[in-house]
């Protein structure tokens, strides 16, 4: 399933990571039901870390956040912000290549994947969901949230179908501002 080729430009990173955004999207409120201390979390498309920094705080010193982006400048901004916050040791920044996240080494080790307003920007949602499912441990969860502007009901349904084809099962439909969301879970099969 091919997706839009529009990717949020790196120069939007500071705006997307700003405290003004917290008015609409409170990271702690969104993440608290899903993330606990000690978890390993995968975040594709983290930008400059709006959710990443909160994820790193929530997983604590024994946890880990793997942030994968295709834009080096976004990852550089994220690394700077994490350093200033004193939590850079909890965050691993990875540069994705082509249509792959490059997370094959994480097979079965990820507890939670946060895919917040990113899947519609990927070149192939099917590849993303296959890689995410491969990285998730049995019972691991993925929060998919998409903005209603660029993602209509049909596109969201197509994303959910791609997730289901990858072995992810719908558990809940959490509420997010300005869009649709689904909490998906990897089944027991490897």
- pLDDT tens column, 110-122: 999 999 988 988 8
The tens digit of pLDDT for each residue in 17-72 reads 455 545 566 788 889 999 999 999 999 999 888 899 999 999 999 999 999 998 89
Please state, in angstroms and rounded to a whole number, the distance separating the CA atoms of residues 178 and 147.
6
Question: What is the three-class DSSP state of 137?
Answer: strand
Token pair, residue 188, equals 């027991």
10 within a domain of the structure (yes/no):
no
8 within a domain of the structure (yes/no):
no
Q: Is the pLDDT of residue 170 over 60?
A: yes
Q: Apex CA 141: angle with CA 135 and CA 143, to 5°?
A: 110
11 within a domain of the structure (yes/no):
no
CA-CA-CA-CA torsion sign (74, 79, 84, 85): positive
72 within a domain of the structure (yes/no):
yes
First to last CA, the chain: 23
Q: Are strands 91-95 and 110-116 parallel, antiparallel or unpaired?
A: unpaired
12 within a domain of the structure (yes/no):
no
55 within a domain of the structure (yes/no):
yes
Total residue length of the chain: 190
CATH number at residue 40: 3.40.50.150
Please give the tally of structural domains in the chain.
Answer: 1
95 within a domain of the structure (yes/no):
yes
User: Are residues 48 and 81 in contact, defined by beta-carbon separation less than 8 angstroms?
Assistant: yes
Q: Show the domain range for 121.
A: 20-186
| CB burial string 57-72: b at 16+ within 10 A, e below | bbbeeebbbbbbbbbe
91 within a domain of the structure (yes/no):
yes
**pTM for the complete prediction?**
0.86
Q: Is the pLDDT of residue 7 over 80?
A: no
Q: Which residue has the higher pLDDT, 151 or 178?
A: 151
């Amino acid at each position: 399933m091919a997706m839009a080729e529009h990717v949020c430009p790196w120069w939007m990173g500071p705006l997307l990571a700003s405290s003004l955004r917290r008015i609409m999207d409170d990271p702690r409120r969104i993440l608290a039901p899903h993330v606990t201390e000690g978890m390993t979390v995968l975040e594709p498309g983290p930008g400059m870390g709006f959710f990443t920094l909160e994820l790193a705080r929530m997983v604590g010193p024994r946890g880990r956040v793997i942030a994968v982006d295709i834009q080096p400048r976004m990852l550089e901004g994220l690394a700077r912000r994490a350093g200033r916050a004193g939590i850079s040791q909890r965050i691993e920044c990875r540069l994705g290549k082509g249509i792959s996240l490059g997370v094959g080494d994480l097979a079965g080790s990820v507890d939670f994947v946060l895919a917040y307003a990113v899947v519609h920007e990927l070149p192939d949602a099917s590849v993303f969901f296959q890689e995410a499912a491969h990285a998730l441990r049995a019972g691991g969860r993925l929060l998919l949230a998409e903005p209603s502007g660029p993602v209509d009901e049909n596109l969201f349904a197509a994303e959910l179908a791609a997730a289901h084809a990858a072995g992810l099962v719908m558990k809940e439909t959490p509420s997010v501002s300005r869009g649709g969301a689904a909490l998906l879970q990897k089944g027991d099969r490897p």
